[in-house]
């Protein structure tokens, strides 16, 4: 279970004030020797380091949103004053880019041709907390922090090359050096655990442009705390990036000795950031349980859709079978009022189709394309209290639609109706007390104020979805979500975070959620879940960004009066590479 510190940190840095995120000194270049056991990045907050006691961020340190926070910073020992750069107009790759100080967002030039990309996810805007400031130690360096708040954000390779972890310390900090064709970019103030989790070693590994190298450290040491660190000091979570040569064009922006200046906001187009990559994994697998207690797992490998189900004897799962060959993009599943397995799929060409499984023959019967012309994307499906199947689907424009059977087992359906305004990414649905609840993540195209937040809607007694929504969690979600209801009526929610964590919450009633907690210790991208109908155990399947599929089970099952719970027991990895 996570503490409330994480939420407090987000609120303190929702708008990163001028002067937050500084670097009083560089780190040593030699690799540090440390016996410190790496801590999970989401909980990496030293509490027993030499010469330093527990402390939390405060508004005096960060400054309230939309203020400079300078008065609080003036009193902090060892923190250098931030300076504002003048407006600069620089030529870059045959075009002009204006670097604006004071908080304006500078769009990248459409005509700029450059091999480097900004080191954060496509569509994200980060702010220059400190312009070029490395002269004191022979470097050219900039400090950056996300405009939408700091939440263990991933950072990415500016180009393809070799990445090596060059420093670790007792604070849990790590530094990564990225060699791109002989030019070395230095990333400071990352967490050691995250760098290791993404496979970056001291000897170096090959990486592609946009590949995640690590996550921002939530609390780097200040200069006053220098005895406890080796890999650099700073103020507040931020990325310190050293750039090998100037002038250099990155993502269409010209980096010179004077630009971009402090306060400039930069929009990334890097290709495979955490948010973007995670949205690609949304809907890649589905999990259900039939009335007999059999658990079904459906998953997309490449573009083929496969399925298997649990058995009562070793190896406890059947071999994988193919549902159909083709180009599948997302899948959802449910069981209708007659106990028949239903799946809902989208293809890479945007087609939406459903299929049912014949337990006697083992065959799947497919529908024709549903509501053509919408370019469908992600899907969800559930059975309501009357046994009717409800289908939900987003299109590539981010709109969310639904329809349902007119009666249990009926071959007729209501028309497609829209829910909410749009910009939705991953979706999932479940049933509580006979009502269908559908959850949806605001995706990368949503306004910054809504991006990464999850909202949910409930069906009404008239067979429609309610127009009012409720919010789930506190934002920072990356793109995929899954919800299931145990036998006691407790709704369980699972969602991937922008930092790669898999967060869970639950509610025993309509109001309020308990949590958050986390499942596993990996960098998660996609998730599905189900409750085993006989034991009431909650199953959670999750994919890593590299396509590895793992699953967990709750240690305590559920029944009509007792909710599931306990701990999350690791059940194993599923062989293969999955979406």
Question: Could you report the per-residue pLDDT of 470-485, keeping only the tens digit for each?
Answer: 999 888 888 899 999 9
pLDDT at 503: 93
The predicted pLDDT at position 283 comes to 67
Give the distance from CA 216 to its chain's centroid: 14
- In SS3 terms, 330-370 reads as EEEEEECCCCCEEEEEEECCCCEEEEEEECCCCEEEECCCC
Q: Which residues of 489-512 are buried (b: 16+ CB within 10 A; e: fewer)?
A: bbbbbbbbbbbbbbbbbbbeeeee
Domain positions in the chain are 5-270, 276-574
Q: pLDDT per residue over 406-457, tens digit each?
A: 999 999 999 999 999 889 999 999 999 999 999 999 987 888 778 889 999 9
CATH class of 5-270: mainly beta
Low-confidence ranges of the chain (pLDDT < 70): 1-114, 148-152, 224-229, 271-283, 325, 508-511, 579
Question: Cα–Cα distance between 151 and 6 in angstroms, integer?
Answer: 8
How far are the Cα atoms of 210, 336, 491, 567 from residue 465, in angstroms, in the given order? 39, 19, 18, 34
Those residues with Cβ within 8 angstroms of residue 543's Cβ, 6 or more apart along the chain or in another chain: 281, 284, 285, 524, 525, 526, 527, 549, 550, 578, 579
Closest C-alpha to 167, from 272, 46, 366, 34:
34
- By DSSP bridging, strand 173-180 and strand 141-146 are unpaired
Q: What is the pLDDT of residue 150?
A: 67
Query: According to the 3-state scheme, what is the secondary structure of 214-236?
Result: EEECCCCCCHHHHHHCCCCCCCC
pLDDT at res. 418 = 96
Judged by DSSP in three states, 148 sits in coil
* Residue 343 tokens, joined: 């799946």
Q: What integer pLDDT is reported at residue 304 of this predicted model?
A: 85
Per the CB < 8 A criterion, the answer to whether 523 and 198 are in contact is yes
CA–CA separation, 50 and 47 (whole Å):
9
The pairing of beta strand 105-106 with beta strand 265-267: parallel
Instruction: Give the per-residue pLDDT at 49.
Output: 32
Beta pairing partners, 86: none
428: Cβ contacts below 8 Å, ≥ 6 apart: 332, 380, 438, 439, 481, 482, 483, 528
Are 62 and 20 contacting, i.e. CB atoms less than 8 angstroms apart? yes
pLDDT at residue 271, as a whole number: 60
Residue 193 host element (H or E): helix 192-197
Q: Does domain 276-574 have CATH number 2.120.10.10?
A: yes
> Which residues, 6 or more positions from 550, have their beta carbon under 8 angstroms from its beta carbon?
520, 522, 541, 542, 543, 544, 570, 571, 572, 573, 574
User: Which uninterrupted H or E stretch holds 72?
Assistant: helix 70-74
């Amino acid at each position: 279970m996570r503490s409330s510190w994480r939420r407090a940190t987000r609120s303190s840095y929702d708008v990163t004030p001028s002067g937050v995120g500084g670097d009083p000194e560089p780190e040593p270049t030699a690799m540090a020797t440390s016996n410190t056991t790496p801590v999970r990045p989401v909980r990496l907050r030293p509490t027993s380091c030499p010469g330093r006691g527990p402390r939390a961020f405060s508004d005096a340190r960060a400054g309230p949103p939309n203020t400079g926070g300078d008065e609080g910073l003036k009193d902090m020992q060892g923190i250098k004053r931030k300076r504002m750069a003048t407006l600069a107009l620089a030529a870059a790759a045959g075009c002009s880019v204006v670097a604006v100080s004071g908080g304006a967002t500078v769009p990248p030039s459409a005509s700029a041709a450059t091999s480097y990309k900004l080191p954060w996810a496509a569509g994200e805007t980060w702010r220059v907390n400190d312009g070029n400031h490395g002269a004191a130690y022979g470097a050219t360096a900039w400090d950056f922090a996300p405009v939408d708040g700091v939440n263990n954000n991933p950072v990415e390779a500016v180009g393809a090359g070799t990445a090596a972890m060059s420093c670790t310390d007792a604070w849990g900090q790590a530094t990564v050096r990225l060699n791109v064709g002989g030019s070395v970019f230095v990333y400071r103030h990352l967490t050691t655990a995250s760098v290791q989790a993404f496979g970056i070693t001291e000897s170096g590994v090959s990486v592609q442009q946009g590949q995640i190298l690590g996550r921002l450290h939530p609390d780097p040491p200040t200069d006053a705390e220098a005895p406890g660190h080796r890999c650099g000091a700073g103020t507040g979570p931020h990325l310190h990036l050293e750039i090998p040569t100037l002038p250099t064009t990155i993502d269409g922006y010209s980096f010179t000795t004077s630009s971009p200046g402090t306060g400039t906001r930069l929009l990334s187009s890097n290709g495979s950031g955490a948010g973007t990559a995670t949205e690609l994994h949304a809907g890649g697998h589905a999990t259900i349980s039939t009335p007999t207690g059999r658990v079904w797992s459906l998953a997309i490998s490449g573009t083929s859709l496969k399925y298997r189900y649990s058995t009562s004897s070793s190896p406890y799962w059947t071999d994988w079978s193919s549902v159909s060959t083709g180009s599948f993009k997302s899948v959802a599943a449910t069981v209708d009022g007659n106990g028949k397995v239903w799946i809902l799929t989208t293809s890479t060409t945007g087609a939406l189709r459903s299929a049912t499984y014949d337990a006697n023959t083992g065959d799947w019967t497919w529908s024709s394309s549903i509501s053509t012309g919408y370019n469908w994307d992600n899907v969800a499906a559930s059975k309501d209290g009357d046994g009717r199947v409800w289908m939900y689907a987003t299109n590539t424009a981010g709109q969310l639609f639904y329809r349902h059977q007119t009666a249990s087992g009926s071959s007729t359906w209501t028309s497609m109706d829209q829910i909410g305004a749009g910009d939705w990414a991953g979706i999932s649905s479940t049933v509580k007390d006979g009502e269908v609840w559908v959850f949806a993540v605001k995706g990368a195209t949503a306004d910054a104020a809504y991006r990464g937040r999850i909202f949910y809607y409930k069906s009404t007694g008239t067979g429609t979805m309610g127009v009012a929504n409720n919010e789930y969690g506190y934002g920072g979600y990356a793109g995929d979500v899954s919800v299931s209801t145990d036998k006691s009526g407790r709704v369980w929610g699972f969602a991937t975070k922008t930092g790669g964590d898999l967060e869970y919450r639950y509610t025993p009633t309509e109001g309020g959620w308990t949590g958050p907690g986390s499942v596993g210790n990996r960098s998660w991208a996609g998730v599905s879940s189900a409750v085993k109908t006989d034991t009431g155990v909650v199953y959670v399947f999750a994919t890593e960004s590299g396509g590895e599929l793992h699953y967990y089970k709750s240690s305590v099952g559920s029944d009509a009066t007792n909710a599931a719970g306990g701990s999350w027991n690791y059940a194993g990895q599923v062989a293969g590479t999955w979406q």
